[in-house]
Amino acid sequence: MNDTDQQAGQPVSPADAATPNPSSPAPQADASPVCKSDLLEPGEPIIKFEKVVKRFGDVTVLDELDFEVRKGEKVTIIGPSGSGKSTVLRILMTLETINEGVIWVAGRPLWHEERNGSLAPASEEHLRDMRKEMGMVFQQFNLFPHMTVRRNITEAPVQVLGLSKEKAAERADKYLDLVGLTDHADKFPSQLSGGQQQRVAIARALAMQPNIMLFDEPTSALDPELVGEVLNVIQRLAGEHDLTMLLVTHEMQFAKQISDRVCFFDKGKIVEEGPPEQVMIEPREERTREFLKAFINPA
């Protein structure tokens, strides 16, 4: 991991946004508290939050957040509850709107549309188009209880992507194999354990072949003995696929293993971010240290 001093990245103008430029630079460590992942070559990050504000009533959950993720990067977000970590994922998945700021995904605005050279609030069609970039795995799995495992996985590819039933079934078999549940294809979710259900949920999200996978506390609702099987799948994903992954979790050990970068969120801002060794073993910020104390023995 290089430690190169870089200046702050310039805000991307709409004109540049038309040509997304995937780059694969080494992740940077940064001395200042605001997350500024800088790129070696000019090119956009696959995700870019610009001064994003999100309020729920009187509570400001995201406070002028600047945040970037590069293509293929595996980023883990940690932090106390209420710090806004899940909100970042939910906003990306278009489950929540934003109050201020702009978000860019794969070079295009997410909650805005470009019309006549300026940004206007996104229409439903634009959102539907943007959603295809992302897949999400929820804490409570949220499988469709009235469909078999196979149907859960094939339904969206057939109905949303327009795949034929055969092609969708092929895809389902491929991802079922990846998560190790080929024998359970014809079962209903109620017949599976929590860990199995979450693995199906991962396969279901993968079947849409998104560029970005979002994991919102994927193991927090599982009994301890079932956590491992899910983490194994996520690890396999991180290793075998050039997938951008955003993970919110309390599994610190796991975060250290798979992440390229860890971001510590508190009160709607990124307090500290950098490679796992830096943030989690020798954190620079006091608040990070305080938080991590609760997870003593991350060895």
Binding site for other proteins (CB under 8 A): 93-95, 128, 131-132, 134-136, 138, 140, 142-147, 155-156, 159-160, 188, 190-194, 196, 204-205, 208
- Bridge partners of 74? 245
Cβ closer to other proteins: 51 or 146?
Answer: 146
Cα–Cα distance list, 113 to 71, 73, 93 (Å): 22, 26, 16
CB of 136 to other proteins, least distance (A): 4
CA distance linking residue 137 with residue 135, whole number of Å: 7
Cβ closer to other proteins: 51 or 165?
Answer: 165
Q: Match 């919110």 to its residue by tokens.
A: 248
Cβ closer to other proteins: 216 or 266?
Answer: 216
| String of DSSP letters for 93-138 | TTSS--SEEEEEETTEESSEEEETTEEEEPPHHHHHHHHTTEEEE-
Minimal CA–CA distance to 236: which of 68, 118, 99, 74?
A: 74
CB of 280 to other proteins, least distance (A): 29
Cβ closer to other proteins: 42 or 145?
Answer: 145
CB of 158 to other proteins, least distance (A): 10
CB of 296 to other proteins, least distance (A): 33
Minimal CA–CA distance to 74: which of 219, 238, 280?
A: 238
CA distance linking residue 209 with residue 178, whole number of Å: 13
CB of 297 to other proteins, least distance (A): 32
Cβ closer to other proteins: 167 or 284?
Answer: 167
Return the SS3 of 64.
strand
